[in-house]
């Protein structure tokens, strides 16, 4: 299986990260062994730039478990049972009079983590812009484009949570933050950032002036990851032709490994992170269990159900909710979490073709996915609505627990199709802007 990795080095300097994240305006006498962010931004060395890259790639993994729990619980993919915090089953599922709180961990933690990574990337951009290190202009442009691509991914995750509540993009100066943009403006800003970066990546034959394990060391190859993200954003915008163009420039491979893609990596190495999405089978107290409809709605013989869930030895229950199946997408606490995979790109391709009146190609892509899942060919209608219904079903099972179901039904105005777990529960459309914003 071909996987392009985001992997943290054991020697990541955690103190260095803290300095970057919590830098202040008053700078006393500089410690030459621990330079300030402003000093690095003004004349960073290649080793300091490398530390920035390491810190940024580490930072984009932080608190991702809260993000996945947010979108997956509201999207009724799984339940997050926690005896220590009932808000996973009350607030997120809209139990009774419960509302989403603007000052609670499920929004403040993922929101802050994404903007910390964006801050690190901004310092990296300044360091690459101003460095006196011996790098070429093409390497400088490629490195800055790398940072902008990472930022666009972080902004997209924030937009997915806040939706109509908008997105703040102008955040480089913490003392003079820009306004919250509308959802449409925010999506356009993300696309513009990806496209701006890609201009300096595609056809650029240099390698980055630092080491990254995110997709490729070569700028022109890294462009394929950038275009994969762009294809995802374009379908959110319903710009099908632009999505199609982005797909052709991505790592899409209709005949390739469905799991090829870009991943967050975890390890037991000192100073590294574990995959917080993993709980041992049959856990109690803290666990994730499958929303029962995922099992009962599946076609007979669908291998994705077998591969991504596990029958428990005893039923799990909490807060009038119950399930007999563990969420078992990850088999250990060091399994990688995908950012974007070829399987998603094939399904985006099917969606684009369905929306542009090319049912033959849509069928071709759908059947690639169905065949891999052990299912027979698609036998439904070839009109757009029928094809989209089938594609959304395949996305539900192929991308289970990867952060898409809630977003998919929301963008097609189909949130009313999500099951109501208890009488009076709500299906939320978005999270509030955090109170400290």
CATH number, position 230: 1.25.40.390
Total domains in the fold of the chain: 2
| Mean pLDDT to the nearest integer, 321-328 | 98
Residue 175 and residue 71 share a domain: yes
Residue 119 and residue 63 share a domain: yes
| Residue 381 falls inside a structural domain | no
| Residue 339 falls inside a structural domain | no
Of the candidates 237, 173, 171, 159, the one whose C-alpha atom is nearest the C-alpha of residue 433 is 159
pLDDT(36) > 70: no
pLDDT(428) > 80: yes
Task: Collect all residues with Cβ–Cβ distance below 8 Å to 94 and sequence separation of at least 6.
Answer: 425, 426, 427, 428
State what percent of residues in the chain have pLDDT above 70.
Answer: 91
| Mean pLDDT to the nearest integer, 216-220 | 94
pLDDT(33) > 50: no
Separation CA 24–CA 214 (nearest Å): 30
Residue 300 and residue 186 share a domain: no
Task: Collect all residues with Cβ–Cβ distance below 8 Å to 248 and sequence separation of at least 6.
Answer: none
Residue 303 and residue 163 share a domain: no
| Mean pLDDT to the nearest integer, 84-109 | 97
| Residue 424 falls inside a structural domain | no
**How much is the pTM?**
0.92
Residue 315 and residue 173 share a domain: no
| Residue 342 falls inside a structural domain | no
pLDDT(82) > 50: yes
Enter the tokens of residue 302.
């669908």
Residue 177 and residue 67 share a domain: yes
Band (pLDDT 50/70/90 cuts) for residue 4 is low
Residue 254 and residue 309 share a domain: no
| Average pLDDT score over the chain | 92
| Mean pLDDT to the nearest integer, 224-239 | 98
Residue 136 and residue 201 share a domain: yes
| Residue 196 falls inside a structural domain | yes
Quick: pLDDT tens for 245-273: 999 999 999 999 999 999 999 999 988 99
Of the candidates 20, 11, 28, the one whose C-alpha atom is nearest the C-alpha of residue 127 is 20
| Mean pLDDT to the nearest integer, 99-113 | 97
Residue 297 and residue 172 share a domain: no
Separation CA 437–CA 434 (nearest Å): 6
Across 64-216, the runs of DSSP E, i.e. the strands, are 78-82, 167-168, 180-181
Residue 86 and residue 175 share a domain: yes
| Mean pLDDT to the nearest integer, 150-164 | 98
Enter the tokens of residue 105.
């961990």
pLDDT(385) > 90: yes
Output the CA–CA distances (angstroms, integers) from residue 59 to 5, 48, 147, 328, in the order listed: 15, 16, 13, 25
pLDDT(16) > 80: no
| Residue 383 falls inside a structural domain | no
Q: How far is CA 107 from the centre of its chain?
A: 15
136 vs 43, residue with greater confidence: 136
| Residue 30 falls inside a structural domain | no
Band (pLDDT 50/70/90 cuts) for residue 26 is very low
pLDDT given at position 397:
98
Strand order in the sheet with 3-6: 3-6, 261-264, 337-341
Cα torsion through 301, 307, 308, 310, rounded to 10 = 90
Separation CA 28–CA 390 (nearest Å): 61
Quick: pLDDT tens for 349-358: 999 999 999 9
pLDDT given at position 40:
75
pLDDT(23) > 60: no
| Residue 362 falls inside a structural domain | no
Radius of gyration of the chain (CA): 22
Separation CA 81–CA 288 (nearest Å): 6
User: What is the DSSP secondary-structure string of 237-248?
Assistant: HT-HHHHHHHHH
Instruction: Quote the domain boundaries for residue 309.
Output: 286-327
Output the CA–CA distances (angstroms, integers) from residue 130 to 3, 23, 124, 173, 356, in the order listed: 33, 19, 10, 18, 45
pLDDT given at position 418:
98
End residue of a domain, out of 254, 274, 294: 274
pLDDT given at position 14:
42
DSSP 3-state of 340: strand
pLDDT(390) > 90: yes
| Mean pLDDT to the nearest integer, 40-56 | 85
Residue 194 and residue 112 share a domain: yes
Residue 186 and residue 137 share a domain: yes
pLDDT(35) > 80: no
pLDDT(20) > 60: no
């Amino acid at each position: 299986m071909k996987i392009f990795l985001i992997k943290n080095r054991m020697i990541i300097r955690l103190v260095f990260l803290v300095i970057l994240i919590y830098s202040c305006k008053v700078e006393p006498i500089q410690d030459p062994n621990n330079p300030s962010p402003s000093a690095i931004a003004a004349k960073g060395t290649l080793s300091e730039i490398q530390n920035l890259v390491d810190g940024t790639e580490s930072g984009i993994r932080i608190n991702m478990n809260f993000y996945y729990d947010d979108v997956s619980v509201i999207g009724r993919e799984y339940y997050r049972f926690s005896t220590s915090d009932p808000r996973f089953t009350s607030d997120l599922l809209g139990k009774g009079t419960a509302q989403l709180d603007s000052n609670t961990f499920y929004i403040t933690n993922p929101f802050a983590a994404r903007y910390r990574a964006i801050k690190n990337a901004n310092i990296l951009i300044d360091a690459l812009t101003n460095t006196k290190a011996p790098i070429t202009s093409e390497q400088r442009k490629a490195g800055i484009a790398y940072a902008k691509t990472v930022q666009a991914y972080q902004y997209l995750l924030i937009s997915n949570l806040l939706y109509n509540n908008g997105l703040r993009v102008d955040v480089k100066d913490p003392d003079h933050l820009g306004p919250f943009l509308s959802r449409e403006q925010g999506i356009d800003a993300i696309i513009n950032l990806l496209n701006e970066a890609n201009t300096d990546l595609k056809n650029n034959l240099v390698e980055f002036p630092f080491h990254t394990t995110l997709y490729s060391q070569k700028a022109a190859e890294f462009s394929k990851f950038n275009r994969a993200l762009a294809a995802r954003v374009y379908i959110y915008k319903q710009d099908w032709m632009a999505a199609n163009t982005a797909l052709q420039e991505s790592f899409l491979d209709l005949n390739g490994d469905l799991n090829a893609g870009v991943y967050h990596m975890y390890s037991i190495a000192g100073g590294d992170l574990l995959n917080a999405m993993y709980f041992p089978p049959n856990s109690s107290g803290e666990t994730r269990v499958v929303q029962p409809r995922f099992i009962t709605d599946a076609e007979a013989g669908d291998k994705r159900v077998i591969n991504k869930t596990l029958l428990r030895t005893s039923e799990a229950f909490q807060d009038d909710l119950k399930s007999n199946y563990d969420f078992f997408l990850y088999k250990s606490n060091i399994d990688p979490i995908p950012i974007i995979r070829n399987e998603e790109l094939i399904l985006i391709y099917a969606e684009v073709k369905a929306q542009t009146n090319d049912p033959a190609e849509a069928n071709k892509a759908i059947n690639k996915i169905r065949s891999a899942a052990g299912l027979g060919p698609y036998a439904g209608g070839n009109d757009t609505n029928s094809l989209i219904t089938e594609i959304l079903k395949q996305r539900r099972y192929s991308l289970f627990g990867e952060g898409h179901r809630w977003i998919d039904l929301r963008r097609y105005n189909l949130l009313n199709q999500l099951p109501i777990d208890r009488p009076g529960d709500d299906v939320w459309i978005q999270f509030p802007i955090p109170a400290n914003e």
